[in-house]
Amino acid sequence: MRFDLAFIGFGTVGRGLADLLLEKKEELKKRYGMEYRVVAISDIKVGSILDDRGIDLKEALRLAEARTSLETLPAQKKGLSAIETIRASHSNAIVEVTWTNIVNGEPGYSHIKTALSLGKHVVTTNKGPISLYYRELMKLADANGVKLKFKGTVLSGTPAFNLFDGVLAGCSVSSIRGILNGTTNYILTEMEKGLDYKDALKEAQRLGYAEADPTMDVEGGDAAAKVTILANALLGINIRPDNVKRKGITSVTTKEVKKAKDRGGRIKLIARAEKKGNSILAEVSPIPLPVSDPLANIMGVTNALTFATDCLGNITIVGPGAGRRATGYALLTDLISIANGK
Ligand code: HSE
């Protein structure tokens, strides 16, 4: 299969995918029969170019890293908006990597709807539209005979969703419970070492883990969006982020973190969802866990998720939940699965 890709957004995550596409070009062709061309990039900060004959991705990446406008490159069209780019490019797949907005999902929601309606596949890491409009968007993709893939919205490239239609097919999930936000886990880890909350948050921002608006992380909004996506995709329910009861870590003190440790445990920001008869329990809150719980031992920016299943009991997966390469990889693996007809 050959992808003609349009990048909508070309920040850290988009560039993470670009790195991998360049690095693995030959391997993708040999192992998966997947070829690609980038025909458009539209980004609010580094500009917008469209050329259906193909864009020099390496050069675009170099310019974006140097914060120089992509519009200095030769291209058939320049300066188009994201929606114009989706419409005007002869792309067959859109990489939607604009910022997350869990209030109304925009602008990602409109980007994804437009692309799917035009019969273009979409791969995205955008938690806003997927947490708010999962069923509607999946239906739209189906109706147009294309795929919408969103693996990187939760746990970056660490497998979660596809476990249950892949290697664990036939196994049902009854509840999920995890550490889904790297920033807050990093802050709690640093607080245990003695750093105070504010300094730990500053460091998480400096390291690039936090959302553009870090209140999304520390007040539990990011974890609420992620647990919503997991619950809708794996528990077969239909909730929205505002159905998730949530409390963040802003009121957790270094003293409390130390006290939990002295008692042989750890405070973790736990996101969970469970089907109880006809009702749904969905919650994000800081909870002291005994060290015997695998989630208590997840430190720093790492994420982890425990699935309660009918055939295997509890399964816990641990892996990166943020970062340029890990999240770029989530998009790459989504493209490979589309290329493989999955
Ligand atoms: N801000 C998010 C986190 C990034 O800290 O986990 C990945 O979704």
If you measure from the C-alpha of residue 23 to the centroid of ligand 1, how many angstroms do you get, rounded to a whole number? 25
DSSP 151: G
Cis peptide before 107, with omega less than 30 degrees from 0? Answer: yes
Q: What's the pLDDT tens digit per position in 207-250? A: 888 888 899 999 999 999 999 999 999 998 999 999 999 999 99
If you measure from the C-alpha of residue 226 to the centroid of ligand 1, how many angstroms do you get, rounded to a whole number? 10
Ligand 1 neighbours (beta carbon < 6 A): 181-183, 209-211, 217, 222, 321-322
Atom of ligand 1 at shortest range from CA of 217: 1
If you measure from the C-alpha of residue 8 to the centroid of ligand 1, how many angstroms do you get, rounded to a whole number? 20
Strand order in the sheet with 245-246: 245-246, 279-290, 265-276, 173-179, 302-309, 313-320
Catalytic annotation present for 226: yes
Atom of ligand 1 at shortest range from CA of 183: 5
DSSP for 213-245, written as a single string: STHHHHTSHHHHHHHHHHHHHHS-----GGGSE
Q: Residue 155 and residue 157: Cα distance in Å, rounded? A: 6
DSSP for 181-206, written as a single string: -HHHHHHHHHHHTT--HHHHHHHHHH
Q: What's the pLDDT tens digit per position in 187-211? A: 999 999 999 899 999 999 988 888 8
Active-site residue identified among 120, 147, 151, 226: 226
Q: What is the mean pLDDT of residues 107-131?
A: 98
Q: Ligand 1 test: best mutation among 211, 268, 301, most atoms within 8 Å of CB?
A: 211
Coil/strand/helix, residue 12: helix
Q: What is the mean pLDDT of residues 111-134?
A: 98
Atom of ligand 1 at shortest range from CA of 185: 5
pTM greater than 0.75: yes
If you measure from the C-alpha of residue 209 to the centroid of ligand 1, how many angstroms do you get, rounded to a whole number? 6
- The pLDDT, as a whole number, for residue 165 is 85
Name the residue at shortest CA distance from atom 8 of ligand 1. Answer: 322
Domains with residue ranges and CATH for the chain = 2-157+324-339 (3.40.50.720), 173-320 (3.30.360.10)
Atom of ligand 1 at shortest range from CA of 211: 1
Name the residue at shortest CA distance from atom 4 of ligand 1. Answer: 322
If you measure from the C-alpha of residue 151 to the centroid of ligand 1, how many angstroms do you get, rounded to a whole number? 14
What percent of the chain lies above the pLDDT cut of 90?
A: 91
Residue 47 has pLDDT above 90, yes or no: yes
Name the residue at shortest CA distance from atom 7 of ligand 1. Answer: 322
Q: Residue 137 and residue 150: Cα distance in Å, rounded? A: 11
Q: Ligand 1 test: best mutation among 206, 209, 269, 284, most atoms within 8 Å of CB?
A: 209
Q: Tokens for 203?
A: 């460091």
If you measure from the C-alpha of residue 145 to the centroid of ligand 1, how many angstroms do you get, rounded to a whole number? 31
Q: Residue 65 and residue 191: Cα distance in Å, rounded? A: 33
Q: Ligand 1 test: best mutation among 102, 131, 179, 183, most atoms within 8 Å of CB?
A: 183
Q: What pLDDT band is residue 134 in, cutting at 50, 70 and 90?
A: very high
Q: Residue 130 and residue 4: Cα distance in Å, rounded? A: 23
Residue 292 has pLDDT above 90, yes or no: yes
Q: What is the mean pLDDT of residues 109-121?
A: 98
If you measure from the C-alpha of residue 185 to the centroid of ligand 1, how many angstroms do you get, rounded to a whole number? 10
- The pLDDT, as a whole number, for residue 14 is 97
Atom of ligand 1 at shortest range from CA of 209: 5
Atom of ligand 1 at shortest range from CA of 327: 7
- The pLDDT, as a whole number, for residue 201 is 94
Give the chain's mean pLDDT.
95
Q: How many other CB atoms sit within 10 Å of the CB of residue 288? A: 16
